[in-house]
Amino acid sequence: MPKLIDKFGRQINYLRLSVTEHCNYRCFYCRDDEHTPNCKREDILSYEDIEKIVQLFAQLGITKVRLTGGEPLLRRGIAKIAKLISRIDGINDVPLSTNAHLLEKFAGKLYQNGINRVNISIDSLIPERFEKVTRGGDLSEVIKGIDAAIQTGMHPIKMNMVAMRGVNEDEIESMIDFAIDKGIDIRFIETMPIGSAGIEALTQHISKKDILAKINKHLNNQLTPIVSNKTAGPAHNFKIKGTNSTVGIISAVSNNFCQTCNRIRLTAKGDLILCLGQQDSISLRDAVRSDLTDNEIKSMIINAINKKPEKHEFNSVIDNISNRQMVEIGG
């Protein structure tokens, strides 16, 4: 099977696929308060578009497809999309990223249709604070969703917390304890300067070093590093001794992971994005709706991969991504 290898020798085997720009939460670091999705039904990828594009990626060596949004559970037919993708030859891992507000309703059906594991965004365990960060979210619904995912047998289940100084840094310890109690994993994410909302949130940035110091102090240094597999995400993960849980840190700004980047992103409108820190993209939606052959589209993808940058410039250049909203590109 051919492989997607960029000009820096990195093998690309992980596709993050956004299925909608819509989200029922409005987290302040993810999008501007006044932002609303601007797309019509015909603008977003259809079931047929998604199936065709993922088939082509699978033929090029993609093995993992993560469904994201916006909030993917808002996409009509999300279980059907999961089923279509999970049945494609070569795809062996179909996780989901969600805010879990609707997960209690969908967990069983998703699991039956190929969603083997789930990442859940949760930035606070204090109801009032959670509501403020998400601009209206309901923590109780998220916890119901977490419990439903556990009951279905999804594994691993990972909670993702964007750690922010002056916002929720005092909950790092309680979030770890919550994860251990549930027997699931927890990851802490540095704020990233995507869109004006993300750039503004950089004032609340907490570095990996500071997060790890708090984790080690709380757990009395009871951490064992975990070696990542080939399609793993960017987190630096540790096993918490004496528990069934792991803790990880995603440090896109203070300690970037670009040298091992193995992922690309496809927006709900079908734009292939090669790097969160780069504006260049190509429309695979238009390609699969045209009279181009499969081989011609695969050549487009290969040529695009060769434009994947060596690294992002979050530490020095942010103007080129200030007009993006994280909610539009699936994180």
Any idea what the CATH number is for the domain that residue 138 is in?
Answer: 3.20.20.70
Q: How confident is the model over 246-274, as a mean pLDDT?
A: 86
Residues 172 and 136 sit within 8 Å (Cβ to Cβ):
no
The reported pTM is: 0.91
Per-residue pLDDT at 257? 67
Report if residue 279 sits inside a domain: yes
Residue 319 has pLDDT above 50, yes or no: no
Instruction: Specify the higher pLDDT residue, 236 or 94.
Output: 94
Strand segments, DSSP code E, in the chain are 4-5, 11-12, 14-18, 64-68, 96-98, 118-121, 157-162, 185-189, 223-225, 236-240, 246-250, 263-266, 271-273, 281-283
- For residue 259, name the pLDDT band (cuts at 50, 70, 90): confident
* Four-residue CA torsion sign, 161, 165, 170, 176: positive
Q: Are strands 263-266 and 271-273 parallel, antiparallel or unpaired?
A: antiparallel
The C-alpha R_g of the chain, in whole angstroms, comes to: 19
Residues 96 and 70 sit within 8 Å (Cβ to Cβ):
no
pLDDT tens readout for residues 161-216? 999 999 999 999 999 999 999 999 999 998 876 655 556 656 778 999 999 999 99
Residues 182 and 146 sit within 8 Å (Cβ to Cβ):
yes
Domain range spanning residue 159? 14-329
pLDDT tens readout for residues 134-171? 999 999 999 999 999 999 999 999 999 999 999 999 99
Per-residue pLDDT at 208? 92
Per-residue pLDDT at 196? 59
Q: For tokens 């700004």, what's the residue?
A: 253
Report if residue 27 sits inside a domain: yes
pLDDT tens readout for residues 210-235? 999 999 999 998 999 998 776 776 78
pLDDT tens readout for residues 70-120? 999 999 999 999 999 999 999 999 999 999 999 999 999 999 999 999 999
User: Which stretch of 55-69, 123-137, 188-202 has the lowest confidence by average pLDDT?
Assistant: 188-202
Residue 115's Cα: distance from chain center in Å? 14
* C-alpha span between 295 and 9 (Å, rounded): 22
Residue type, 328: E
Per-residue pLDDT at 47? 98
Instruction: Specify the higher pLDDT residue, 183 or 309.
Output: 183
Report if residue 6 sits inside a domain: no
Give the burial class of 164: count Cβ atoms within 10 A of its Cβ; 0-12 exposed, 13-18 middle, 19 or more buried: buried
* C-alpha span between 4 and 2 (Å, rounded): 7
Report if residue 205 sits inside a domain: yes
Sorted by sequence, the CB contacts under 8 Å of residue 158 that are 6+ apart come out as 117, 118, 119, 120, 184, 185, 186, 187, 248
- For residue 128, name the pLDDT band (cuts at 50, 70, 90): very high
Report if residue 210 sits inside a domain: yes
Residue type, 54: V
Q: What is the mean pLDDT of the chain?
A: 89
Residue 46 has pLDDT above 90, yes or no: yes
Q: How confident is the model over 311-325, as a mean pLDDT?
A: 53
Residues 160 and 119 sit within 8 Å (Cβ to Cβ):
yes
Report if residue 5 sits inside a domain: no
Residues 237 and 228 sit within 8 Å (Cβ to Cβ):
yes
Residue 39 has pLDDT above 70, yes or no: yes
Residue 317 has pLDDT above 90, yes or no: no
* Four-residue CA torsion sign, 18, 259, 228, 144: negative
Residue 313 has pLDDT above 80, yes or no: no
User: Which stretch of 36-50, 147-161, 306-320 has the lowest confidence by average pLDDT?
Assistant: 306-320
Per cent of the chain over pLDDT 70 is 86
Report if residue 9 sits inside a domain: no
Report if residue 2 sits inside a domain: no
> Per the structure, how many domains does the chain have?
1
